[in-house]
């Protein structure tokens, strides 16, 4: 056995002090957000009614390579970071591969995922701006939980519009948010015009993420004191920025071990975890200092990279957001009920879309039964019960390791294990009981303009 430990934790003093802004390293910048009313690039003035001022600055910042992490956020990170970089000795042995496999595990906090990295930042800037509350939406509940935790720490009221079907079927998720003091509203609700309209038209509706977003944005905009803002957990450039802490820690730990990755694998929904994980490695690649392979893994049921088009599209179903140039399946695309709820998004981070279009990264897709098969193998060998989203990266890493085995190549594979599957047991049960099916959308279903 090698001298590399199973788990590597950075010392607190080795934690990153600045986030990495990947846009600062890109010669070909991503296309700007467009105001759909004018079709001109969004200005700070366009965005600050909805988002916190400092976060808008970060969203529009395409030049700075690094942005200092404010001390209160660093202190909050110390509550649950650094996260471990794990050498998957068991998985390597089970696969009988010459490859070395590492994973960065972001699930060791109560929210159960990497979402907390951006929640802390967004809540902090809201507090700094003197706001009285933030609003957001949540589907499965990980983002809402993360935001509630950060809200409790920074004493910032949080109002979460939770898709009604989750609100009713996942009361425990809602209860966790309540423990942290967040107000959780089943969406659609009668607290907004958007909610009331939907309820009038579809009285029995279970809600949708699109509707919950509309309610959360409206609740922020319609605060008569204009002292509330909306926050979002993925897709945006600012979220990738905050998530760069994942990749920076990963690189610092690998550097300590004297290990240089050949292949990096991450799951991709809106792109925040993947963008964060790859950030310092992509920066080196953009500077011509590295030829690391970067592989985005997405569900075959929602294949924005592998089957989408790179074009301007709305970020939401209701077409209320700015237009983003991104890989998209069309904002009207309704993903099938894949259990990796965090990957069910029609679009993709504009930054990652540009990097993919410029061939700095690859993408592949898997069906959910392939993914759950890998998840259960991983759980039994490595101990940790992975989230379905994260299990896409596990499947990608396993396939990369088997490719190494076939070719007799001793490569270094690093993947992102973004979270735990505690709240996804219904899906595991369906898989184990043989009741899970796969769905691959037809060409007609995607690319709806």
Instruction: Report the interface residues with its own copies, using CB under 8 A.
Output: 5-7, 9, 11-13, 78-80, 90, 108-110, 149, 152-153, 171-172, 175-176, 178-181, 376, 379-385, 420, 422, 425-426, 428-429, 432
Task: Report, in Å, the least distance between residue 281 CB and its own copies.
Answer: 24
Q: Using the minimum distance from each CB to its own copies, give the nearer residue, 141 or 441.
A: 141
- Phi, psi (5° rounding) for residue 251? -65, -40
Q: Name 255's Cβ contacts closer than 8 Å, sequence gap at least 6.
A: none
Any idea of the CA torsion for 259, 263, 264, 270, to the nearest 10 degrees? Answer: 170
**For 379-412, b where at least 16 C-beta lie within 10 A, e where not — what string?**
bebbebbbbbbbbbbbbbbbbbbeebeeeeeebb
Cβ nearer to its own copies, comparing 425 with 440: 425
> Residue 389 CB, nearest distance to its own copies (Å)?
16
d(CA 98, CA 204): 55
Considering the complex, state which of residue 96 and residue 291 has its C-beta at the smaller distance from its own copies.
96
Indicate the residue among 34 and 376 with the shorter CB distance to its own copies: 376
Taking the CB of residue 197, how many other CB atoms lie within 10 A of it? 13
Q: How many residues does the chain have?
A: 449
Name which of 430 and 438 has its Cβ closer to its own copies.
430
What torsion, rounded to 10 degrees, do the Cα atoms 420, 266, 375, 111 define?
A: 10
Nearest distance, CB of residue 4 and its own copies, angstroms: 9
The residue among 180 and 327 lying less far from its own copies, judged by its C-beta, is: 180
- Asked whether the beta carbons of 266 and 296 are under 8 A apart, the reply is yes
Structure tokens at 271: 């792109």
Burial letters 210-242, b for 16+ CB under 10 A, else e: bbbbbbbbbbbeeeeeeebbbbbbbbbbbbbbb
Closest separation in Å from C-beta 184 to its own copies = 12
Task: Return phi, psi of residue 180, to 5°.
Answer: -90, 10
Q: What is the DSSP letter of 113?
A: B
Report the nearest approach of its own copies to the CB of residue 149 (Å): 6
Residue closer to its own copies (CB basis): 153 or 217: 153
**Beta carbon nearer to its own copies, 154 or 356:** 154
**Burial of residue 359 (number of CB atoms within 10 Å: 0-12, 13-18, 19+):** exposed
> Smallest distance, Å, CB 116 to its own copies?
8
Shortest approach of its own copies to residue 218 CB, angstroms?
27
C-beta closer to its own copies: residue 33 or 177: 177
Our CB check for its own copies shows the closer of 87 and 354 to be 87
- What is the smallest separation between the CB atom of 158 and its own copies, expressed in angstroms? 12
**What's the closest the beta carbon of residue 375 comes to its own copies, in angstroms?**
8
Minimum CB–partner distance for residue 441 and its own copies (Å)? 28
Cβ density class 148-175: b for 16+ within 10 Å, e for less? bbbbbbbebebbbbbbbebbeebeebbe
Beta bridge mates, 117 = none
Helix axes 209-221, 193-201, angle to 10 degrees: 150
In whole angstroms, give the CA distance from residue 106 to residue 389. Answer: 12
């Amino acid at each position: 056995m090698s001298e590399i430990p199973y788990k590597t934790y950075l010392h607190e003093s080795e934690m990153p002090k600045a986030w990495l802004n990947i846009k600062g390293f890109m010669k070909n910048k991503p296309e700007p957000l467009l105001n759909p009313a004018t079709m001109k690039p969004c200005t700070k003035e366009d965005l600050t009614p909805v988002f916190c001022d400092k976060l808008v600055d970060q969203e529009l910042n395409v030049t700075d390579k690094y942005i200092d992490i404010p001390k209160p956020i660093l202190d909050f990170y110390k509550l649950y970071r650094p996260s471990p970089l794990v050498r998957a000795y068991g998985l390597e042995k089970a696969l009988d591969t010459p490859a070395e496999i590492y994973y960065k595990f972001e699930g060791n906090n109560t929210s159960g995922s990497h979402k907390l990295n951006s929640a802390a930042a967004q809540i902090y800037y809201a507090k700094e701006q003197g706001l009285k509350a933030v609003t957001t939406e949540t589907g499965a509940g990980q983002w809402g939980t993360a935001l509630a935790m950060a809200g409790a720490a920074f004493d910032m009221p949080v109002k979460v519009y939770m898709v009604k079907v989750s609100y009713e079927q996942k009361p425990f998720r809602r209860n966790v948010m309540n423990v942290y003091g967040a107000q959780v509203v089943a969406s659609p609700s009668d607290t907004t015009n958007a909610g009331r309209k939907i309820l009038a038209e579809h009285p029995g509706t279970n809600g949708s993420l699109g509707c919950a977003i509309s309610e959360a944005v409206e609740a922020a905009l319609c605060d008569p004191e204009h002292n509330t803002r909306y926050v979002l957990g993925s897709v945006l450039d600012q979220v990738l920025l905050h998530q760069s802490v994942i990749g920076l820690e990963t690189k610092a730990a690998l550097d300590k071990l004297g290990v240089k990755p050949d292949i990096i694998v991450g799951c991709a929904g809106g792109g925040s975890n993947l963008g964060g994980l790859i950030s310092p490695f992509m920066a080196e690649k953009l500077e011509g200092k590295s030829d690391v392979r970067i592989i985005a893994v997405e569900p075959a049921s929602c294949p924005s990279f592998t089957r989408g088009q790179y074009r301007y599209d709305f970020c939401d179903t209701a077409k209320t957001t700015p237009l983003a140039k991104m890989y998209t399946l069309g904002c009207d695309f309704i993903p099938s009920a894949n259990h990796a709820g965090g990957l069910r998004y029609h679009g993709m981070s504009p930054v990652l879309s540009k990097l993919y279009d410029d061939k700095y990264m690859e993408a592949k897709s898997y069906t959910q039964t392939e993914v759950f098969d890998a998840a259960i193998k991983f759980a039994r060998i490595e101990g940790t019960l992975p989230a379905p989203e994260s299990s896409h990266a596990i499947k990608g890493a396993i396939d990369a390791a088997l490719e190494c085995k076939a070719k007799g190549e001793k490569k270094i594979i690093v993947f992102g294990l973004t979270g735990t599957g505690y709240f996804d047991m219904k899906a595991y049960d369906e898989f184990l009981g043989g009741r899970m099916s796969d769905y691959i959308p037809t060409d007609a279903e995607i690319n709806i303009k």
